[in-house]
DNA sequence: ACTAAATAGTGCGATATCGAACTATATTGG
DNA sequence: CCAATATAGTTCGATATCGCACTATTTAGT
């Protein structure tokens, strides 16, 4: 592949990397001290798609190693934002459920983030962001599949 | 802001986050053991834009805290991929220069990555990726500016 | 010139991430 | 039904990231 074609993909991943970093930093500045996007994301996922997921399902959903999810969940449990219940279908496993405190934490975080997103929406119209999503999703799905092979 | 508008931006950052994670993992699997994208990126930056940059300039270019860059550079130096020379213009500072080994490392990494990108190019045409870049750059610039305020 | 404020870089501590090896339970093949 | 294999989750160790506080030097204000 000629260098200038390589450059397109390099540039893409570079932009994505910087956006991820800046977005994460901005978000975490609005979260309670010591909490990270990884914590919020798990709570948000459980609210949106329903709790009772297993740690492995969560690790798979976020594409992180299961040891990382173990660590994240331990942190959430110690803050009383999630709890564990035995998995009735599998004695090796367990299910992650939200506590009321966990649901509130997520609500508050979204509230704290809203002004930030509103400011962004004023600069970057929603349509412009929406227009990116199909291609981003396609790339994400491709990378996800390529990972297995 | 209505929830469904919030969702657009949430989804965007979510996709970006997963792509960053998957892209990084795929890339790092092709790098020599123990080396990360952060190491490669610094070498690549120095090759493309010229070496002799200061640590702070690099930290700023990658939008990482300066302590992180100190750490990354120490790692690169210990592997003899970069060296430090005094900054003639500022006694507090220093300049990062590439070693031959550093240049070779970067060349080899790009070579090792090429097949991966080629496979990706077969699935996601270059034009489709290129079409994303203007909006991504706009968002990156916005986030970068918003950071200062 | 001199003091005060700003800036470049580092050291340290806390936490996150992640791979390898391990334990316990489930599943599969004979 | 039992042995072999696979899977869920954890523990442990290594390294990355990053905020805070610190030192050294430079720049700015008077």
**Which residues in A103-140 are b (16+ Cβ under 10 Å) and which e?**
eebbeebbeebeebbeebbeebebeebeebeeebeebb
**In the predicted model, what is the mean pLDDT of chain B?**
92
pLDDT score recorded for residue B91: 93
The answer, for B70 touching chain A at a CB cutoff of 8 Å, is no
pLDDT score recorded for residue A149: 62
Closest in B119, B136, B147 to A15, CB measured: B136
Give the torsion through C-alpha atoms of B56, A35, A48, A111, to 10 deg. -80
* A37 has pLDDT over 90: yes
Q: Within a 13 Å sphere around the CA of B62, how many CA atoms are in the beta-carbon half?
A: 26
Tokens 């500045």 belong to A29
pLDDT score recorded for residue B116: 86
Confirm whether any atom of chain D, the nucleic acid strand, is less than 7 Å from CB of B140.
no
Q: Does A71 or B3 have the greater pLDDT score?
A: A71
pLDDT score recorded for residue A16: 94
**pTM, rounded to two decimals:** 0.89
Neighbour-count burial of B136, counting CB atoms closer than 10 A to its CB (0-12 exposed, 13-18 middle, 19+ buried): buried
Report how far Cα B34 is from the mean position of its chain's Cα atoms.
17
pLDDT score recorded for residue A44: 94
Q: Residues A60-87: what's their mean pLDDT? A: 96
Check CB contact under 8 Å for A17 and B17.
no
Q: Residues B1-15: what's their mean pLDDT? A: 82
Q: Residues A122-129: what's their mean pLDDT? A: 95
- The residues near A3 (Cβ < 8 Å, ≥ 6 apart) are none
A104 close to A112: Cβ distance less than 8 angstroms = no
pLDDT score recorded for residue A148: 63
**In the predicted model, what is the mean pLDDT of chain A?**
92
Secondary structure class of A80 (helix, strand, coil): coil
Report which residue is nearest nucleotide D12 when distances run from CA to C1': A67
Q: Please report, rounded to whole angstroms, the spatial distance between the CA atom of protein residue B84 and the C1' atom of nucleotide D27.
A: 25
In the structure, what pLDDT confidence band is assigned to residue B149 with cuts at 50, 70 and 90? low
Looking at chain B, which residue has its C-alpha nearest residue A60? B18
- The residues near B26 (Cβ < 8 Å, ≥ 6 apart) are A143, A146, A147, B116
pLDDT score recorded for residue A1: 56
Q: Note the pLDDT tens digit of each residue in B25-64.
A: 888 988 998 899 999 999 999 999 999 999 999 999 998 9
Say what percent of chain A tops pLDDT 70: 96
Closest in B9, B19, B126 to A139, CB measured: B19
Q: Note the pLDDT tens digit of each residue in A78-101.
A: 999 999 999 999 999 999 999 999
* B4 has pLDDT over 80: no
* A7 has pLDDT over 90: no
- CA–C1' nearest nucleotide, residue B34: D15
Q: Note the pLDDT tens digit of each residue in B116-142.
A: 888 999 999 999 999 999 999 999 999
pLDDT score recorded for residue A80: 95
pLDDT score recorded for residue B1: 56
Q: Note the pLDDT tens digit of each residue in B57-88.
A: 999 999 899 999 999 999 999 999 999 999 99
Query: Containing H/E element for A92?
Result: none
């Amino acid at each position: 592949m000629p260098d200038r074609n390589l450059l397109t993909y390099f540039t893409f991943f570079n932009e994505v990397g910087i956006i991820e970093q800046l977005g994460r930093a901005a978000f975490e500045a609005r979260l309670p001290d010591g909490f990270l996007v990884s914590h919020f994301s798990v709570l948000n996922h459980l609210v949106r798609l329903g709790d009772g997921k297993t740690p492995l399902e969560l690790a798979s959903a976020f594409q992180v190693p299961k040891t990382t999810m173990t660590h994240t969940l331990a942190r959430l449990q110690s803050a009383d934002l999630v709890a564990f219940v035995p998995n009735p279908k599998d004695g090796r496993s367990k299910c992650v459920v939200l506590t009321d405190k966990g649901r509130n934490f997520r609500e508050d975080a979204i509230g704290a983030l809203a002004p930030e997103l509103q400011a962004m929406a004023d600069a970057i119209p929603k349509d412009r962001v929406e227009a990116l999503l199909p291609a981003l999703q396609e790339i994400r799905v491709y990378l996800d599949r390529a990972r297995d092979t």
